[in-house]
Amino acid sequence: MEKNEIKILETQALSLPEQAKQIQIVDDNSLHKGNEFIHVCRQLRKKIAVTMDPIIKRAHGVHQEALAQKRKLEGPLKQAEEIVGPRIASYKRKIEEEIRAQEEEKERKLAEEKKKKEEALEKAAALEKAGDKEKADEEFEKAEKIEEEEALLAEEPKFKRKAPDTPGTSIRKIWKWRLKNLKEVPIEYLKLDEVKIGDAVRTAKGEIEIPGIEIYADDRLSIRSQ
């Protein structure tokens, strides 16, 4: 029975937009006809509500019951994941920080060796220029040894420790923010309080001015039941 009623309502509803396109309000007579047409649409909408609302209510009840059951079943699992997940993330982050620290230390040592080599070469060049070839050769040898140590250091494995694999899970960064000083926030990141503006405009009924805001009235037809 419901299916037949819905089909009838569907047929009636689908015909109305085409009828509406043919209605032009140009005089009192067409105004009267247009007004009658609006009430025909409203009456059909009431019939649709009477037919469909009980169906929607039943479906909504079943939907809400299923959602509640799903939440009940998933709740403990979500709780368990929220306990272990951060611990996995914390440990892997610790490993990554250790690796990063190792690489930074390696870069620091390389820079230090490079500086020592450059100083030894400069000193050797100065001694050679001063005619002290023996000491100059010592500094050149010192520079060569530093260069060898530098090469060995550079050839060391990039990572002394590798972050362990966790099949099926990975670390995903969720970037967030917190306000420090509202006055320093660039204007492009600020949002209008549309609710507050709307309340003020509706309350004032046009008797208000807000800098940067155009206030206007949008005429809408109000339909009362007959």
pLDDT, tens digit, for every residue of 162-200? 667 778 887 778 888 899 999 999 999 999 999 999 999
- Asked if residue 119 belongs to a domain, the reply is yes
- Asked if residue 221 belongs to a domain, the reply is no
- Asked if residue 220 belongs to a domain, the reply is no
Residue whose C-alpha is closest to residue 109's, from 70, 72, 150:
150
- Asked if residue 141 belongs to a domain, the reply is yes
- Asked if residue 210 belongs to a domain, the reply is no
- Asked if residue 54 belongs to a domain, the reply is yes
- Asked if residue 214 belongs to a domain, the reply is no
- Asked if residue 11 belongs to a domain, the reply is yes
* Residue 37 clears pLDDT 90, i.e. is over it: yes
CB 143 within 8 A of CB 117: yes
Residue whose C-alpha is closest to residue 170's, from 108, 85, 106:
85
151 band by pLDDT with thresholds 50, 70 and 90: confident
CB 106 within 8 A of CB 156: yes
pLDDT value at residue 163: 66
In the block, tokens 């009267």 appear at 32
Q: Which residues contact 127 (CB under 8 A, 6 or more apart)?
A: 133, 135, 136, 139
pLDDT digits (tens, 9 = 90+) for 42-98: 999 999 999 999 999 999 999 999 999 999 999 999 999 889 988 888 888 888 888
Structural domain for 135, as ranges: 2-204
- Helix 28-130 with 2-22: angle, nearest 10 deg: 90
**Predicted TM-score of the model (pTM):** 0.50
pLDDT value at residue 162: 66
Q: What's the structural domain count of the chain?
A: 1
Residue 222 zone, left/alpha/beta (φ > 0; ψ -120 to 50; rest)? beta
